[in-house]
Chain A
């Protein structure tokens, strides 16, 4: 690890509100220039963690270090962070220009330089010409960009974003995601981005911390999270997944033999320590790792089932296949128009197949 890898260090930090442990012993580091996301369902402590970084909340325990300096005694207005609030918090009594210039006064820069920076910032977020408007004369997306510009104009070392795209419609949201990522790469600022939308987190981030109950469940790159979740809870949160209960019958030289509920006896390669003879585990398989066939395929594992329903998703469909010994149908992803599902009707018998490498073994 170079020193850069721990530009921000969150060291065993907790925040309790009475009996509620909003943030509970969280530890991790963020590198300079990283796009880091906090992902988790409502109430898991994302906002609280962000507010601890900004200095609006004092930790019950632990410390935040930014660039090596402990932050607990540093007031919000003296921290090298700026925040984009969930509700934007644009000052309604000031116009856009005055909102942007608001924080520049404290940076002791000249009036002419100030104006220049405001102009630049407006252009950067594509709001040139909107300087004289007030927040109630702007659309949601425009407000969001004002909030972003107002924080960025301070040239912070760290930008904190609390679900900034939450209030936008899908189309604008996707546009803004691209803009945000491009902007982050252009300015090279460390972004800490809060979201409860896993797709958004996967699209944008260098790394993601998945949170639940005030704790981090896993911190990893989007790819790693998708392909190698560490627990059922994380796997449930990222993308769609089939879960199959299983017990370990035997483990021999990296190959485990599993007795599953519904998929029969299967083998999987693994080196995970919890895969021990006699243990109950969970096997997770992505819908796109399963295929449908009308007859058993040679050399591949498969199980016989009955077509139930299918869900059209545009570029692909999810076909639900019920198999014996399982209450929940298996979701199988099928490319539209490839013909692999074309001939199969509801109620017809099908074979669901997979390859060994597709199986993700998780602790029960």
Chain B
């Protein structure tokens, strides 16, 4: 039997802290699934009984379904474009000599710290000025804007993490720049690309402020949910949908974290 080393010893206060932390994080979220099965329109204790009614209503709620589809569309397009822009920008700042590289990266990362409401207002003014009709497209543009820094933050370490001599080796063996990008660079950063798309999708999917400022007649899911809060009777199906989304998000986040690590600890990457 070996004694645990100094750093491995059990630490009771830290353990208690971790438990408290988890409770703080997850108990509020657990109310959602809890009430989504509660047989009452009123969201209050005591619980009444068990029902699937809200889940059934969720499927027959046409406006909510439309909002969900809108959000999926916006999220998909925004995550693809933000990641695409992120890939080229990350490649540029990690691979090429660009004068003023630091200020450029700083400016790209800036939307991370600019309050969403300011960005939303600014974008709204811009759209009005250039006379663009507000629609899902303007929402998507706004979401691309806020997602690019996250895509960059995910992708830059990935680009930095692999040796540029890989790309030189490819050129040395006869591949031109485009061929090298497809056959070496892309496969090697692919896990980062997927992680970035998942992250951007999640950000877009629950983004409220910018969508609120920039949406036209069609609503994204967060906006739809917000508009339903005034009608207590319509709330339980929202809870059902929320629970479903949480369940899916868990899977997605888990998958993306797993991908982020994949390849880093020298496992074979996706077999491409």
State the A residues within 8 Å of B (CB).
54-56, 75-78, 81-83, 85-87, 89, 91-93, 102-103, 105-107, 134, 136, 150-151, 154
Chain B residue, CB-CB nearest to A160: B172
Judge whether A75 and B269 touch: CB under 8 Å.
no
Chain A residue, CB-CB nearest to B175: A77
Contact among A75, A102, A134, A151 for B170, CB-based, below 8 A: A102
- The stretch from B3-11, B100-108, B182-190, B233-241 touching chain A is B182-190
Judge whether A134 and B176 touch: CB under 8 Å.
no
| Cβ of B57 to closest chain A Cβ, rounded Å | 48
- Taken together as a complex, chains A and B put the C-alpha atoms of A277 and B188 apart, in Å, by 67
A-B contact count (CB 8 A): 72
- Taken together as a complex, chains A and B put the C-alpha atoms of A86 and B179 apart, in Å, by 23
Chain A residue, CB-CB nearest to B180: A77
| Cβ of A92 to closest chain B Cβ, rounded Å | 7
- Taken together as a complex, chains A and B put the C-alpha atoms of A107 and B168 apart, in Å, by 18
Question: Is B30 an interface residue when CB atoms closer than 8 A count as contact?
Answer: no
Question: Is B173 an interface residue when CB atoms closer than 8 A count as contact?
Answer: yes
Q: Which residues does chain B contribute within 8 Å of A83, judged by CB atoms?
A: 168-169, 172
- Taken together as a complex, chains A and B put the C-alpha atoms of A228 and B263 apart, in Å, by 52
Which residue, of B165, B172, B174, B187, has the highest number of chain A Cβ atoms within 10 A? B172
Judge whether B169 and A85 touch: CB under 8 Å.
yes
B window 140-179: CB within 8 A of A: 163, 165-166, 168-176, 179
Q: Which residues does chain A contribute within 8 Å of B174, judged by CB atoms?
A: 77-78, 103, 105-107, 154
Q: Which residues does chain B contribute within 8 Å of A76, judged by CB atoms?
A: 168, 171-172
Judge whether A150 and B173 touch: CB under 8 Å.
yes
| Cβ of B185 to closest chain A Cβ, rounded Å | 11
Q: Is the interface of A mostly helix, strand, loop or mixed?
A: mixed
- Taken together as a complex, chains A and B put the C-alpha atoms of A272 and B183 apart, in Å, by 58
| Cβ of A116 to closest chain B Cβ, rounded Å | 18
Which residue, of B166, B169, B184, has the highest number of chain A Cβ atoms within 10 A? B169
Q: Which residues does chain B contribute within 8 Å of A151, judged by CB atoms?
A: 172-173
Q: Which residues does chain A contribute within 8 Å of B270, judged by CB atoms?
A: 93
Judge whether B268 and A93 touch: CB under 8 Å.
yes
Judge whether B268 and A134 touch: CB under 8 Å.
yes
Known A93-B269, A134-B268; contact A103-B168, beta-carbon cutoff 8 A: no
29 contacts between A and B (CB under 8 A): A54-B172, A55-B171, A56-B168, A75-B171, A75-B176, A76-B168, A77-B171, A77-B172, A77-B176, A81-B172, A83-B169, A83-B172, A86-B165, A87-B163, A89-B165, A89-B169, A91-B184, A92-B263, A92-B266, A93-B268, A93-B270, A93-B272, A102-B175, A103-B173, A105-B174, A136-B266, A151-B172, A151-B173, A154-B174
- Taken together as a complex, chains A and B put the C-alpha atoms of A9 and B153 apart, in Å, by 46
| Cβ of B150 to closest chain A Cβ, rounded Å | 25
| Cβ of B263 to closest chain A Cβ, rounded Å | 8
Judge whether B175 and A87 touch: CB under 8 Å.
no
| Cβ of B268 to closest chain A Cβ, rounded Å | 5
B window 46-74: CB within 8 A of A: none
Which residue, of B169, B173, B270, has the highest number of chain A Cβ atoms within 10 A? B173
Given contacts A87-B165, A92-B269, 10 further A-B contacts (CB under 8 A): A76-B171, A77-B172, A85-B168, A93-B187, A93-B188, A102-B175, A106-B174, A134-B268, A136-B266, A136-B268
Q: Which residues does chain B contribute within 8 Å of A103, judged by CB atoms?
A: 172-175
| Cβ of B220 to closest chain A Cβ, rounded Å | 37
- Taken together as a complex, chains A and B put the C-alpha atoms of A102 and B269 apart, in Å, by 17
- Taken together as a complex, chains A and B put the C-alpha atoms of A288 and B177 apart, in Å, by 55
Q: Which residues does chain A contribute within 8 Å of B168, judged by CB atoms?
A: 54, 56, 76, 83, 85, 89
Judge whether A102 and B173 touch: CB under 8 Å.
yes
| Cβ of B235 to closest chain A Cβ, rounded Å | 49
